[in-house]
Amino acid sequence: MVEFSPQVAETIIRAAALLGAGFAMIAGIGPGVGQGYAAGKAVESVARDPEARGNIITTMLLGQAVAESTGIYSLVIAIVLIFTI
């Protein structure tokens, strides 16, 4: 039977938490692609209807700010993994 001393167990858990913090940030791909897609569609519709420009820009910015939240979730999880475990 293999047994770990408390120090070894602590080391392994700390290493796994740091590794997990790095992998959590891969989620940042999603909001980047989505926000760029929204900007492209907004540009297309500004060209189609230049009168409605103000409303299109406000809608685009709010949609991008909401899409940003998944990136912030992964950032929060990464910070929690680094600092508390």
Partner 1 sequence: MKEIQDPVKMQKEIIKKTYLISLFPIISSLIAGSFDVFLGFIFGLIISTLLLRIKYNNIRRALDMNMEKAEKFIRNRYFIEYALYFIVLFTSARNTRINFLAAAVGLFMMKFTVVLWSVIDLFKDTFQSKIDEYK
Partner 2 sequence: MIEFSPEVIRTVIRTASLIGAGAALIAGVGPGIGMGYAAGKATSAVRRQPQARGAIITTMLLGQIISGSTGIYSLVIAIFLVFNT
Which residues of the chain form contacts with partner 1 (CB under 8 A)?
A: 53-55, 57-58, 61-62, 65
Say how far apart CA 4 and CA 8 lie, in whole Å: 6
**What are the angstrom distances between the C-alpha of 29 and each of 22, 48, 56, 72?**
13, 29, 24, 12
In the bound complex, what is the minimum distance in angstroms from residue 80's beta carbon to partner 1?
16
In the bound complex, what is the minimum distance in angstroms from residue 84's beta carbon to partner 2?
14
Q: In terms of CB distance, is 9 or 72 closer to partner 1?
A: 72
> Residue 15 binds which one of partner 1, partner 2, none, with CB within 5 to 8 A depending on kind?
partner 2
**Residues making contact with partner 2 (CB under 8 A):** 2-5, 7-8, 11-12, 14-16, 18-44, 46-48, 50, 53, 56-57, 60-61, 64-65, 68, 71-72, 74-75, 78-79, 82
